[in-house]
Structure 1
Amino acid sequence: MTREYKRNGNVNLFACFQPLAGWRHMELTLSRTKIDFAKQMKNLVDIYFRSADVILWIVDNLNIHNPAAMG
């Protein structure tokens, strides 16, 4: 029996959570760039948590998650 893997493209899923409040936000993008990451962080700050004094971010180790992505 031979099985063949065929990739039909890829997408990126950004997942944001605030577990104690029961809040989550998921967004699908067609690319995985610094611009996509920066947009998600901007939305967290400007839309979802604009009244927060502090936001704790825990991110995975992808190469788009660095200070240069925020500039």
Structure 2
Amino acid sequence: MLAEPLAGWRQATIRPTKTKIDFAEVMAELLEGRYADREKAIVVCDKLNTHTEGSFYEAFEPERAFALASQIEFHYTHKHGSWLNIAENELSSMTRQCVTL
């Protein structure tokens, strides 16, 4: 789940796995797409072991990995932080808008 609440934007990417390569590919799409014109993107995420700059180096050639890693600044949440409210709100909104019972 990617979200930029103040811009009213969210994106859900569904993949069969949650590997470092999956994370790096999604971040690369974000950095080279939506945030291509920005010098640096600040990303707030949990401390899952895939959410690191090292993921870029597992997924891409060193030159591209370095270029992507220099465009991103990670801010990690506390284990029991309130960031979950943001993700939960986004998922709740999507459920209400997209799922009918």
- TM-score, L = length of structure 1: 0.73
Listed as ranges, the gaps of 5+ residues in structure 2 are 58-101
| Alignment gaps of 5+ in structure 1 | 1-14
Partner of 1:11: none
Partner of residue 8, structure 2: 22
Root mean square deviation, CA, Å: 1.0
The aligned length equals 57
Task: Name the larger-Rg structure.
Answer: 1
Partner SS, residue 27 of structure 1: coil
Q: Which residue does the alignment assign to 1:32? A: 18
Taking the TM superposition and a 5 Å limit, the aligned residue runs for 1:1-71 are 15-71=1-57
SS in structure 2 of the partner of residue 66 of structure 1? coil
Shift of 1:57: 0.4
**Which of the pair is proportionally richer in helix?**
2
- The range that moved more, 45-54 or 22-31, is 45-54
Mapped to 2, the partners of 1:35 and 1:53 lie a distance apart of 23
Letter in 2 for 1:18: E
Q: Hey, which bits of structure 1, 4+ residues long, moved more than 4 A?
A: none
What is the aligned-residue identity percentage?
Answer: 32
